[in-house]
């Protein structure tokens, strides 16, 4: 029996085929996130991307935004504190005409201390922490800070860091000063932005982002540094707010896109803190643990 897992988010489609020993035999990935799928033609996309993997008895596990209201089959949220067992128990299944079964995992919701939701990140968290107590940070468009206690997700917060950065660069008065093509990494500017967010002179995020403009206008730094300073300021405020939650950060993992995780490592270093990179394939690890249960 072939086991397949699909991490299907808003922007990306990633699939893994396992062999009989439980190892990943093959991986495929495509920019075929649910936002790119017209008229909910999800089965067509699935067949196009991995149709040759799907045998009649195949068992396909799916997580991510594919399980949301705008996805293929909406699953309910498991509420915090949420365990891997509860995640498995909340799955909804569907049979394909070929006989293969699809199993859609639930997302996780928090009602306290602030309402929050995730779909897809939870499996990465379970793949990273095992049965431990830890903090997982998943940087991105909607960065997530997730606290686990003995392997259960107890609390989490989503920060609109990446989306805010993209909007300010593309459409704000700050972005208007950024020269075309100024997208090169500049670790010093990134660190300067992080340091500003933590500085005693900071008057909060809304003022710090404006200084990316005013500082350049007054010649404090060249316009080529604006985008990286801005990124540092936003990441810095995310980290400052995340650390202020008061969670136990003795074990703190950065999970997800490696390049982005490394930027966050630089940001943590800039304030004298350390965060370790999580496993390279947290999603696969999470699904492996889920499968190992049954």
* List of residues contacting its own copies (CB under 8 A): 77, 109, 111, 113-117, 142-143, 157-161, 163-164, 167-168, 171-174, 201-211, 214-215, 217-218, 220, 234, 237-238, 240-242, 244-245
Q: Shortest Cβ distance from residue 209 to its own copies (Å)?
A: 5
Integer CA distances (angstroms), 163 to 99, 167, 184, 251, in order: 40, 6, 19, 27
Query: With respect to its own copies, which residue has the nearer C-beta, 49 or 155?
Result: 155
Query: With respect to its own copies, which residue has the nearer C-beta, 127 or 193?
Result: 193
Query: With respect to its own copies, which residue has the nearer C-beta, 97 or 246?
Result: 246
CA atoms of 163 and 170, how far apart (whole Å): 11
Stated as kind and residue range, the H or E segment containing 7 is: strand 3-8
Query: With respect to its own copies, which residue has the nearer C-beta, 105 or 290?
Result: 105
Integer CA distances (angstroms), 6 to 51, 62, 177, 211, in order: 13, 5, 41, 43
Helix (H, G, I), strand (E, B) or coil at 134: strand
Helix (H, G, I), strand (E, B) or coil at 190: helix
Integer CA distances (angstroms), 227 to 15, 139, 230, in order: 33, 17, 5
Q: Shortest Cβ distance from residue 15 to its own copies (Å)?
A: 25
Sign of CA dihedral 96, 21, 16, 155: positive
Tallying the residues shown for the chain, one arrives at 294
C-alpha closest to that of 2 among 42, 61, 62:
61
Query: With respect to its own copies, which residue has the nearer C-beta, 17 or 191?
Result: 191
Query: With respect to its own copies, which residue has the nearer C-beta, 275 or 290?
Result: 275
CA atoms of 124 and 146, how far apart (whole Å): 11
Query: How would you classify the pairing of strands 77-79 and 92-95?
Result: unpaired
Q: Shortest Cβ distance from residue 291 to its own copies (Å)?
A: 29
């Amino acid at each position: 029996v072939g086991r397949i897992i699909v991490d299907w988010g808003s922007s990306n489609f990633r699939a893994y085929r396992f062999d009989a020993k439980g190892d990943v035999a093959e991986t495929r990935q495509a920019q075929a996130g649910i936002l790119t799928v017209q008229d909910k033609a999800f089965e067509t996309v699935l067949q196009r991307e991995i149709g040759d993997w799907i045998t009649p008895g195949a068992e396909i596990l799916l997580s991510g935004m594919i399980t949301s209201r705008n996805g293929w089959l909406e699953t309910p949220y498991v509420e915090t504190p949420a365990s891997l067992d509860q995640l498995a128990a909340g799955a909804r299944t569907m049979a394909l005409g070929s006989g293969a079964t699809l199993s859609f995992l639930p997302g996780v919701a928090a009602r306290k201390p602030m309402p929050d939701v995730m779909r897809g990140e939870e499996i990465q968290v379970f793949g990273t922490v095992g049965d431990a107590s830890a903090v997982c940070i998943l940087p991105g468009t909607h960065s997530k800070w997730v606290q686990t206690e003995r392997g259960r997700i107890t609390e989490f917060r989503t920060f609109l860091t990446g989306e805010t950065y993209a909007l300010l660069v593309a459409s704000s008065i700050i972005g208007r000063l950024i020269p075309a093509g100024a997208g090169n990494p500049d670790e010093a500017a990134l660190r300067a932005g992080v340091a500003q967010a933590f500085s005693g002179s900071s008057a909060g995020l809304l003022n710090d982002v404006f200084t990316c403009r005013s500082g350049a206008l007054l010649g404090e730094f060249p316009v080529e540094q604006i985008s990286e300073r801005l990124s540092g300021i936003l990441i810095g405020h995310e980290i400052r707010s995340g650390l202020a939650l008061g969670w136990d950060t003795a074990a703190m993992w950065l999970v997800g896109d490696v390049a982005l995780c490394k930027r966050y490592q630089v940001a943590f270093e800039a304030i004298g803190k350390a965060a370790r990179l999580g496993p390279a394939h947290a999603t696969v690890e999470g699904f492996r643990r889920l499968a190992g249960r049954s």
